[in-house]
Amino acid sequence: GMNFQSVLPAQPFYLKLTKWTCRDECSYNCMWKTVDAFINRNWNVPQFHGKWPFVRIFGIQEPASVLFSISTLLLILMILREFRKQSSQNKSHVLAMASVCTNMLKLLVLVDNFPH
């Protein structure tokens, strides 16, 4: 068969980092062409892969959610730092660290949120 990789431009580093494949890129671009066609006809825009279309920034499809999650994570870390200064109860520290871990996992899911 034909090798399309030789005629396609190299994929940017940030798309490789966020695991976007050539197929994902094609699906994403096709989705936006379809959205434009629906808007031009004054039709309701459908969901794609069970989700509303989001503009991707550096390979991240839901940048606002990622920003809010990073803000939440930073806030939790600041509170944990202050709490450690005032308290020596290990049980509370464990709960705070669980919150940090949960938020980091949420960030990973949001960043790794691609079509397939």
- Over residues 57-105, the pLDDT tens digits come to 887 877 888 888 888 888 888 877 777 777 666 666 777 777 788 878 8
Average pLDDT over residues 44-64: 84
More confident call, 16 vs 41? 41
Paired tokens of 108: 């990973």
pLDDT for 80 equals: 77
Backbone dihedral region of 59: left (phi > 0), alpha (psi from -120 to 50 degrees) or beta? left
Q: What are phi and psi of 68, to 5 degrees?
A: -65, -40
The predicted model gives 24-45 an average pLDDT of: 92
Q: Is 94 left (phi over 0), alpha (psi -120 to 50) or beta?
A: alpha
Phi, psi of 60 (to 5 degrees): -105, 120
Question: How many Å from the N-terminal Cα to the C-terminal Cα in the chain?
Answer: 25
The predicted pLDDT at position 6 comes to 54
CA–CA separation, 109 and 36 (whole Å): 28
Residues 6+ positions from 41 with CB-CB distance below 8 Å: none
